[in-house]
A and B are shown apart, each in its own frame.
Chain A
Amino acid sequence: MSFSWARARAVFWKDFLDLRKNPGLLASMGALPMMLVVVPAGVVWAYARRPDDPNLQVIARYYDAQVSGEAAARFLIDKVLVDWFAVYLIMPVFVPILVSSFAIAGEKERRTLEPLLASPVTGLELLIGKSLASLVPALTICVMAFGLLCLAVNFAAGAAVLPTSMWTFGVFVIAPLFAFFGNGVAVVISGRVGDSRLAQQLSGMTVLPLVGLAAGQFGGFLKAGLTYYLLITAFVLVLDVVLLVAATKLFDRERLMTKWG
């Protein structure tokens, strides 16, 4: 049967509607973005409040010995915002996982998979519909969180420190690739296990490398910048292609019906 956008849209419509009626899941999707806005805004506010604090010079010189005293606050603000992007990237990976973990495992749990697969929908339509239902809200949340972050940070800094070209590129190019990765991992795992909670837990582990990178940056072991993020992005792009191939193969009607858990 040839591909039908109408059927893929129907799957998206149903999953999106189901998500809108799930306040618990919506709350958990909103919690992480709030934290990602409030924490850096608070740190920037702390730096901007007392720019002549000698302790700021000590901290700044830990990262760069050349930083002069009066420039320490601005250096730290810029540094925290560059490093924070690694933490921000947790959001486009994690939010789709919250939704996509239920993609197939949830259908299995609710016993809705069999009637669904008995309909004319194809595996690819199912994959696209379910992925869109996860990616559209995730990316919307990411962009909205970025908008809020800009407002909050600029207000806290008392100056226009965001958006930078790196952040803009990151939010609109890198974040979608990371979201695609998070969604792909969750969809593949969800198709292989019979329990959505297990799918969520296993998929959630994919954010650990990002946490590690952020820790390395804040610890001064890794120096973040546009080139650094581009390298990570290239790696994720390769993973995206691998996941897309795996998910397409996995979304085979017979495989979904017979490979339970």
Chain B
Amino acid sequence: MTASVAVENLARRFGDRVAVEGLTFEVNPGEVFGLLGPNGAGKTTTVRMLTGLIAPSAGRGSVCGYALGDAALRRKVGLLTEQPGLYDRLTARENLTFYMRLNEVDERAAWPRTLKYLERFGLGGRADEPVGTFSKGMRQKLAIVRTLVHEPNVVFLDEPTSGLDPESARTVRDAVAELAAEGRTLILCSHNLAEVERLCTRVAVIKNRLRRVASLTELRKEGLALEVKVEGEAAIWLPALGRLRFKPEGGAEGSKLTVLLATEAQAPDVVTELAAAGARIFSVTRAARPLEEAYLELVREDEGAAA
């Protein structure tokens, strides 16, 4: 199977500043792939390189079989930017017509399927209204339709729900999920873990360099979360965890104590320490590790090394 996106040691510098470096990953056709990282991690720069907007400073890559830098690549990709980037005085139909013409698609063939997207996203009756009258959520949905007018093979979604209210964010997420269900290759840039968890199958964690490429299941499996049910309020046993030499992170809710561990071998020490402190332990179970923990661990790698 030929990868939809393949990059090897991709890097981009702006003067002396390294925006991103050492990116090596592949995205398979039909996959929903997440580019995960904090603000300023280089996600947008990566997307700009992959959509042919800027050239890499080093490394190489291809999208839909076209080398980065090949102008023909832009016919095969769609880009949804963080801001919808629509022309307010023009109607939705005129905005879409403009992008059909830029992509030189047959408008007669493109309109029926574009109108279907507009209908699906609840914009069917608003096609001839100026975009300036649309709400933020409607604008973002129209921008999604715009990315699809030329039927791209790969769609890049850069922070698609950034700055939206929860209701608009949800409608946009639903729209993205529908695109994924159509079998398109989607690359989603986000620092919203819930969004990534809901939509993506694999992720690349980036913070100016590639930290990890893995499926969400793999990420959650790394490390261990232990759920300890104790008698009474669990919070009073949190200080006992601090006495352990590996100082695990922990949280308490009612009589349940959640302890995050790096390895399974640390589990007996936790139980021993709690028992020594006087806790009456009813049960100890292994729980799914929150994605947030795995993500934070990866993006804080440098801080750990510096400390």
- Contact (A4, B87) CB under 8 Å given A114-B81, A118-B51, A120-B74: no
Q: B67 contacts the other chain (Cβ, under 8 Å)? A: no
Across the interface, do B89 and A18 meet the contact criterion of CB distance under 8 Å?
yes
The contact of B99 among A22, A114, A119, by CB within 8 Å, is: A119
Chain B contacts of A119 at CB under 8 A? Answer: 74, 99, 102-103
Across the interface, do B74 and A118 meet the contact criterion of CB distance under 8 Å?
yes
Chain B contacts of A122 at CB under 8 A? Answer: 71
Find residues 141-170 in chain B having any chain A CB closer than 8 Å to their own CB.
143, 146-147
Q: B288 contacts the other chain (Cβ, under 8 Å)? A: no
- Contact (A13, B101) CB under 8 Å given A18-B90, A115-B143, A118-B74: yes
Q: In the complex, what's the smallest C-beta–C-beta distance from A261 to chain B, in angstroms? A: 15
**Segment at the B interface, from A44-52, A233-241, A251-259:** A251-259
Q: A144 contacts the other chain (Cβ, under 8 Å)? A: no
Chain A contacts of B85 at CB under 8 A? Answer: 110-116
Interface centre among B54, B89, B98 (most CB of A within 10 A): B98
Q: B189 contacts the other chain (Cβ, under 8 Å)? A: no
Find residues 69-116 in chain B having any chain A CB closer than 8 Å to their own CB.
71-72, 74-75, 77, 79, 81, 83-90, 94, 98-99, 101-104
Chain A contacts of B90 at CB under 8 A? Answer: 14, 17-18, 21
Q: B55 contacts the other chain (Cβ, under 8 Å)? A: yes
Closest to A126 in B: B102
Q: Could you tell me the distance between the alpha carbons of A11 and B99 in the complex, rounded to whole angstroms? A: 10
Closest to B73 in A: A120
Q: Could you tell me the distance between the alpha carbons of A111 and B51 in the complex, rounded to whole angstroms? A: 17
Q: Could you tell me the distance between the alpha carbons of A141 and B74 in the complex, rounded to whole angstroms? A: 37
Q: In the complex, what's the smallest C-beta–C-beta distance from B68 to chain A, in angstroms? A: 12
The contact of B54 among A22, A120, A254, by CB within 8 Å, is: A254
Across the interface, do A115 and B74 meet the contact criterion of CB distance under 8 Å?
no
Closest to B51 in A: A118
The contact of A118 among B53, B55, B86, B98, by CB within 8 Å, is: B53
Across the interface, do A257 and B79 meet the contact criterion of CB distance under 8 Å?
no
Find residues 164-210 in chain B having any chain A CB closer than 8 Å to their own CB.
none
Task: Classify the secondary structure of A's interface with B.
Answer: helix
Q: Could you tell me the distance between the alpha carbons of A14 and B87 in the complex, rounded to whole angstroms? A: 9
Chain B contacts of A1 at CB under 8 A? Answer: 71-72, 74
Q: A10 contacts the other chain (Cβ, under 8 Å)? A: yes
Q: B48 contacts the other chain (Cβ, under 8 Å)? A: yes
- Contact (A110, B104) CB under 8 Å given A10-B98, A14-B98: no
Q: A6 contacts the other chain (Cβ, under 8 Å)? A: yes
Chain A contacts of B52 at CB under 8 A? Answer: 118, 253
Chain B contacts of A258 at CB under 8 A? Answer: 14, 54
Q: Could you tell me the distance between the alpha carbons of A136 and B81 in the complex, rounded to whole angstroms? A: 32
Closest to B84 in A: A111
Q: A197 contacts the other chain (Cβ, under 8 Å)? A: no
Chain A contacts of B81 at CB under 8 A? Answer: 111, 114-115, 118
Closest to A120 in B: B74
The contact of A120 among B88, B98, B104, by CB within 8 Å, is: B104
Closest to B72 in A: A1
Chain B contacts of A9 at CB under 8 A? Answer: 101
Q: In the complex, what's the smallest C-beta–C-beta distance from A84 to chain B, in angstroms? A: 35
Chain A contacts of B143 at CB under 8 A? Answer: 115
Chain B contacts of A22 at CB under 8 A? Answer: 89
Chain B contacts of A185 at CB under 8 A? Answer: none
List the 10 closest pairs (A to B, CB-CB), nearest first: A10-B101, A1-B71, A111-B83, A21-B89, A118-B79, A119-B102, A112-B85, A115-B85, A14-B98, A111-B85
- Jot down 23 A-B pairs with beta carbons below 8 A, ordered by A: A6-B101, A6-B104, A7-B101, A13-B98, A13-B101, A112-B86, A114-B81, A115-B85, A115-B146, A116-B102, A117-B53, A118-B51, A118-B53, A118-B74, A118-B81, A119-B103, A120-B71, A120-B74, A121-B102, A253-B54, A254-B54, A257-B48, A257-B53
Mark A residues whose CB is within 8 Å of B. Answer: 1, 4, 6-7, 9-11, 13-14, 17-18, 21-22, 110-122, 253-254, 257-258
Assuming A119-B99, A257-B53, what are 15 further A-B pairs, CB within 8 angstroms? A9-B101, A11-B102, A17-B94, A21-B130, A110-B87, A111-B81, A114-B81, A115-B79, A115-B81, A115-B99, A115-B143, A118-B77, A120-B71, A120-B102, A258-B54
